[in-house]
């Protein structure tokens, strides 16, 4: 293994790329937001039509 000096470390440029993990996290976020919207809309519809289940 070669020891890298400080001068070489300064010249290293990292790349950015879209990885599978990043795509999966965005997909999960969108699914969660969609599910929350669906639940909220369903509860609003049930309240508006007065079709709530008695406790």
Buried b vs exposed e over 28-41: b needs ≥16 C-beta within 10 Å? eeeeeeeeeeeeee
Under a CB-based contact definition with an 8 Å cutoff, are residues 19 and 27 in contact?
Answer: no
**pLDDT tens per residue across all 55 residues of the chain:** 888 889 988 888 877 778 888 899 999 999 999 999 999 999 999 989 988 777 6
The reply to whether 36 falls in a domain is yes
CA dist 16 to 13, 21, 26, Å? 10, 13, 17
CA dist 24 to 11, 17, 32, 38, 42, Å? 32, 14, 12, 21, 27
The reply to whether 11 falls in a domain is no
The reply to whether 28 falls in a domain is yes
Give the predicted TM-score (pTM) of the model.
0.59
pLDDT reported for residue 13:
82
The reply to whether 14 falls in a domain is no
Say how many domains are in the chain: 1
């Amino acid at each position: 293994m070669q020891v890298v000096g400080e001068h070489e470390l300064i010249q290293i440029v990292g790349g950015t790329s879209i990885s599978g993990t990043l795509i999966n996290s965005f997909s999960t976020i969108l699914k969660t937001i969609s599910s929350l919207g669906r639940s909220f809309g369903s509860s609003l519809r049930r309240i508006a039509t007065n079709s709530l289940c008695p406790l």
